[in-house]
Amino acid sequence: MPRVRVTPQRSSGLVVATAACLFVAFAAPVAGAAPRASGIVVDPARRVTATVGQRISIPLADSPAREMHVDGLPRGAKVVGRAIQWTPRTAGEWTAVVQTGTTGNQNVGYSTGGEHAAGHAVIRTTTRRIALVSRYPARPGAIVAMGDSVAAGQGLQLSDYLGNDSCWRSSDRNYPHQLLGAWSKLHPGTRPEVATVACSGYDSGDLVSAGVNGGIPGTGPTNRQLPQLEWAVRANPGLVTITVGANDLRFDRPEQSLQKDGSIDRPVVDRRLSTFGRNLTTVLDRLLTRTDARIVVTTYGDPAAEHPEGVPNCRDACFAGAVADILGRLDDRIVSTVAATGSSRVTVADVRAAFVGHGAPNAIGPDALRLGTLLGRTVRGASAFCSIGHPSGDPWISALDCVHPNAAGTRAYAAAVTASFSATTI
């Protein structure tokens, strides 16, 4: 039985799996001389996938070795004899580094630190990297919708405004529900289901830290809220959609992005975009390393009317230009952040061009109605996006709040996402 030393994973962060196994052969020198490397052979890495909560055994050695050193094991894993015994506690990816060694005298132990008995040089060392991958049970027919009020479908049902759901979610009319038919055709024989965990008012940081309900039944604890990201990880769905960023840029308070003279406050917007980019990167990285899902991130359609009411120091063309500028920079950050993942599993559904000419109409009723004195906590500042006497002929934005997509706008989002996942294969 070889001697085994185990170094546990010290960091809670994920280590990206390294795709290489190294076999280093040493020629046996004369007594007392240092070993001399004679060659390196690179083989494909082992990749072992396990289901969270289920125990597996991973053999480590296929030939005698005097000593074995194992580094990088996740929680729930340990070395027993010549195997790693692993019961994954959560989804993720780790790299286990296994080093074994033999000497000219098989009765002499080998240390991975390079120490050996005098006169007995190491003649062979082996370093193997094993990718340990754990997942919750896959649901390839399922869709999990993450994000803000656009993904939630706020305003598509009157019950939203009457406080029927704390996240202002549409029960079946939001764009994620409209994807189910096309997604099911690509995945016949699977169980079709949609979980909208998106929540109105949420920004990119909330996806990781703020608890919500609405996940797929059975994938989370009963009567307990989880962050949107955690619901997606536990569901391990076929598709995850994300629409987020407008609240990071404070579209509910557009005046906070402008200076007193009505110009854009660039430093403020830049800071918000930087924070958004970091948060979205975190979300995408964790979805890629903890699920098998396809991920589609949408851009935003510009809700502002051609001639919007605007804010006191920036109205009409001033406000329309400011919104277009800020929203364009947000959409560019979304595209660049997705591209930076380098993964074909993540794509962008760009809706920006589709919304041109379909901005907000004249609003229904007085501002007091839209601002919440009668209908509860609707979006503050929404009247800024409403038309002032020059309504669009085909508005895709709700006349109730002048910022959320109406039924036609929602169909445009669904069409863009469907085109995104239909055009690419994994």
HEC letters along 58-108: EECCCCCCCEEEEEEECCCEEEECCEEEECCCCCEEEEEEEEEEEECCCCC
Mean pLDDT computed over every residue of the chain: 81
105: burial class by Cβ within 10 Å (0-12, 13-18, 19+)? middle
State yes or no: pLDDT of 211 exceeds 80: yes
Q: pLDDT of 215-234, one tens digit each? A: 999 998 877 899 999 999 99
Reported as a pLDDT band with limits 50, 70 and 90, residue 355 is very high
* C-alpha 27, offset from chain centre: 48
- Confidence (pLDDT) at 101: 73
Average pLDDT for residues 282-296, to the nearest whole number?
98
Q: Which amino acid is at 416?
A: A
Q: pLDDT of 132-145, one tens digit each? A: 999 999 999 999 99
Angstrom distance (rounded) from CA 225 to CA 234: 13
- Confidence (pLDDT) at 104: 55
Q: Higher confidence at residue 373 or residue 158?
A: 158
First to last CA, the chain: 44
Q: pLDDT of 74-107, one tens digit each? A: 999 999 988 899 999 999 999 999 887 765 554 4
Contacts of 420 (CB under 8 A, 6+ apart): 296, 347, 348, 349
Q: Could you give the 3-state DSSP secondary structure of residue 422?
A: helix
Q: Which residue has the tokens 């609240």?
A: 247
- Confidence (pLDDT) at 177: 97
Average pLDDT for residues 44-70, to the nearest whole number?
80
- Confidence (pLDDT) at 128: 84
In the chain the domains, ranked by start, together with CATH numbers, are 3-135 (2.60.40.10), 139-423 (3.40.50.1110)
- Confidence (pLDDT) at 60: 82
Q: pLDDT of 360-404, one tens digit each? A: 988 765 555 444 434 433 344 567 898 877 665 789 999 888 899
Average pLDDT for residues 313-338, to the nearest whole number?
96
Q: Higher confidence at residue 275 or residue 394?
A: 275
Q: What percent of the chain has pLDDT over 90?
A: 61
Q: pLDDT of 7-28, one tens digit each? A: 444 333 333 333 333 222 222 3
- Confidence (pLDDT) at 39: 27
State yes or no: pLDDT of 322 exceeds 90: yes
Reported as a pLDDT band with limits 50, 70 and 90, residue 163 is low
State yes or no: pLDDT of 266 exceeds 90: yes
Average pLDDT for residues 304-323, to the nearest whole number?
92
Count of residues for the chain?
426
